[in-house]
Structure 1
Amino acid sequence: MKKLLIYSLVFISLLTFSIISLSAETTTDITTENTSENISETSRTYTYTSYDDLLNQIEEEVYAEIYQDVYEDIYQDILSQVDEDLYTQIYADIEASLNSRFTELSMVNDLTQNQIYDVVEIANQSVVGVETYLDNAGQAVGSAVIYDYDDINQIYYIISNYHVVEDGNNYKVRFENEETVVANLLKYDEEADIAILSFSSVGLEGLSAAILGSSSDLQKGEIILAAGHPQGFNFFNSITFGVVAGLDRSVSGETITYIQHDAAINSGNSGGPIFNLQGEVVGINVLKYADEEIEGMGFSIPIDLVKDIIANQ
């Protein structure tokens, strides 16, 4: 800081010298038309056109030197206070903050993945296949989900699509191990494309009813998982991932509105459920748009409508 005092004194001296010189000059000597003089002092040369110009040059030079000196003094003073321990602490604090953020992201990812695993387990226990026959001739295959169990009579109840069963007069429920049991068609709603069937649980293990959720609680962008048997039973109980793309969608030729989603579904998925991440059934897959220019447009019957059909018929 001594330099600051020295430069200040120099500036004041130069300013005083300039004022004295200015007051000693006559007005005729301070013209700028033909004036261009050099002053050399302590190896410094100034080219000026007036005393104001000279003062400005001196002021700028002295200010620049004082500023640089002050900056260096302050900078070195700060550095002298920031020792290695403080550097280490700053680094540790930053590292801990970043690790905390990464941990939070990892926890969110782990939670979502664990929810998906839980839904897969529910699907493994509740999603079955449906075979439709006209007498002895096979007519169609599709998917279904167990939604209720009567433990007194040992009967499971399943939801599927009406178009899966409409061309037959007898039915079977098929399991992943390729075993089958006889199923009974209990009711259907042709307009909504919903069929309700039942089958006996005698001798069966590893099955459980899925919980029917509420489609009215769904939001656009919500994660869903579709379960079913695309292209038949060789791909039994496949799980695909998607999001709700739209709600209350109208489809040409249909009288009800649907849940639109982008989880992959294909022929054979008909009658299969879509689950939310809580493992609740929120829709029943029924159709998709199939075209070279269209991808990821699947449609499901809202489960609230299905629950009304179950309750009212």
Structure 2
Amino acid sequence: MARYILWRVLQAIPVLIGTTFLIYFMVFAMPGNPLLALFGDRTPNPALLERLEEQYHLNEPFLVQYWYYLSGIFQGDFGTSFTGEPTTEILARTFPVTIRLAVLALIIQGVLGILVGLVSGLRKGKFFDSSALAVSLLLISLPIFVIAFLAQYVFGIELGWARTTVGSGAPWADLILPAFVLASVSFAQIVRLTRASVIETKSLDFVRTAYGKGLGRNRVVPVHILRNSLIPVTTYLGTDFGVLLVGATVTEGIFNVPGVGRTLFQAILRGEGPTVVSFVTVMVLIYLVVNLVIDLLYAVLDPRIRYVK
């Protein structure tokens, strides 16, 4: 196991370098001076512009710029935004909020999606199964901003169960409604994925053997059917966690959540290259860590899986 983890970490290094190089290239190697966006319609002072270019190494060749950035990453320095604020401070302010939102959404879609999918798979063709499929199809069909506005109106304005916008500090209670909205589409996908996996697993020989040995349903369903059906669901949840971190832009904007998605969108509009590159780099690191954790969970779900280099 330790050798496998070490091997995966070594594999992650070229992946990190390759992805950061691509995003850095797309942001800083394009024609034009990214610093000009700071001045809007005004003509910048040449001396000031030259000093800023020297500060951000924009007067250096592209490969030298990237080397400065890459060496800074390994020292824990993700650079400085064009406004002079270290990007690590922006990350420290926004990432905890989005991580809380993503964790809440992941728990909601994981628990409810697996539970509904399990019951639906065990009751294939029954009323519950048909209803679950209809609801999941409806959620998949609706754009996320429609679900968000409906949730605001129904649960925030009409029923008064939740705030329509997230308050200062983004407390957990304020994040519940946007988390349900963010989890809605993935919940529908997990229901369908779990249902299909349960239907396939319950027809396998080892399940029939377990029933034939006299094991009760309360033992067979959680241990033999559900556990062996969770591998594809676990893979989806792992990759979806990264998607939740990156793809919360619309939800965070509607609910005024001061997180990564809204901050990244604003940075793109302002042409804040260092902020964009730093945020994407952290997201790549999160993806790599989550994928490693998911791979290790396979052995927990299926003892037949062994890791070799």
TM-score bracket relative to the smaller structure: under 0.3
- Give the structure with the larger strand fraction: 1
- The alignment's TM-score, normalised by the length of structure 2, stands at 0.19
- Give the structure with the larger helix fraction: 2
Larger RCO, structures 1/2 (Cα 8 Å, 6+ apart)? 2
